[in-house]
Amino acid sequence: MVAITAPSSIEHIPLVRCPKANASPPAVIPSIDLSAPGAAAAVADACRSLGFFKATNHGVPGGLADALEAGAMAFFALPQQEKLDMSGPARPLGYGSKSIGSNGDVGWLEYLLLSVSSSSVPSSALPPSLRMALEEYTRAVREVGGRVMELMAEGLGVAEEERAVLRRMVVGREGSDEMVRVNHYPPCCLLPPGRDCGVTGFGEHTDPQIISVLRSNCTAGLQILLRDSARWVPVPPDPDSFFVNVGDSLQVLTNGRFRSVKHRVLAPEGTESRLSVIYFGGPAPSQRIAPLPQVMREGEQSLYREFTWGEYKKAAYKTRLGDNRLGPYELLPAEEVAAK
């Protein structure tokens, strides 16, 4: 079973501007049919080049996401105080509005950040229908994450009997650190439309975990950074598919073969809200994060000083969203790591 728990100031701070990404060919985002032969190679290619791809044919019934979306929109429509009373202010878990983390990052959004535990009984006071929808959805999406991690291992050339090496760090592992985040970006009309800047919904960052699996409604806003050309491109929404992000920890576990993807969200300017739900797959706090022996070539040096997930998470909570959180752990100058 999947249990969702939400422990406990909401701050109103000035908003920041987000450049609109240049229009670019939509085909730039790889779309991978998870059930097709060759999926493992396509996943590895996408994780090497972009750290990001769209996953189709994932087996999760659309009804689960629809139920969650309905429950989440009903929750976000409640008066502010009720939302806070139900889930507590985000510290970092709980209900947050405009402020992300505790280091001054702000965005045009409200959100619920919840931990997912495989054993504990849900203690959150969220409306039961929302909690149930979250649990069902998370159970299904975690499996997608697990399958993708197996494909990643296969695409990295890990021997068949060890292909569960990444999946086992997260899925079904006692004490693993899985979280789910529901982001609601109401339409923002603070800036006149047609300018080359909008309002930041969620500032640029990489996700610190191993993997993130995102699903949104039909409202656009997500952008990713193409590392090679240093260009931000919009990700056209697709509610029937999932978007997979490589997280910082996976970058280290693969000794830089896979690269975590910088991404951000521009607040919607039309009449429709954006609603996204992200499953974050993190390992147990004691998990050592260092290049996997299964992927290292003979004599290959680690590019990173090793750390535990608990240490990295703690450090991440002390930094700003856009900081290079892996920087302090790099053993080679950043340019050399980027050139690898």
Ligand X SMILES: O=C(O)CCC(=O)C(=O)O
User: Is the CB of 107 or the CB of 155 nearer to ligand X?
Assistant: 107
What is the C-alpha to C-alpha distance for residues 307 and 288, in angstroms, rounded to an integer? Answer: 6
Smallest separation (angstroms) from ligand X to the CB of 233? 14
Closest listed residue to residue 271, CA positions, set 219, 236, 307: 219
216 binds, among Fe ion, ligand X, none (CB under 5 to 8 A by kind): ligand X
Among residue numbers 12 through 31, which ones bind Fe ion (CB under 5 A)?
A: none
Return the DSSP state at 176: -
219 binds, among Fe ion, ligand X, none (CB under 5 to 8 A by kind): none
| CA angle 79–83–87, rounded 5-degree value | 170
User: Is the CB of 169 or the CB of 214 nearer to ligand X?
Assistant: 214
124 binds, among Fe ion, ligand X, none (CB under 5 to 8 A by kind): none
Which residue is closest to ligand X by CB? 276
**124 near 4, Cβ under 8 Å?**
yes
Mark 201-240 with x for binding to Fe ion (rule: CB under 5 A) and - for no binding. ------x---------------------------------
**214 near 281, Cβ under 8 Å?**
no
Smallest separation (angstroms) from Fe ion to the CB of 207? 4
Burial 158-180 (b: 16+ CB within 10 A, else e): beeeebbbbbbbbbeeeebbbbb
248 binds Fe ion, rule: CB under 5 A: no
Site residues (CB under 6 A) for ligand X?
181, 183, 202, 207, 214, 216, 222, 263, 265, 276, 278
180 binds, among ligand X, Fe ion, none (CB under 5 to 8 A by kind): none
| Cis, bond preceding 92 (omega within 30 deg of 0) | yes
In Å, how far from its chain's centre is CA 16? 21
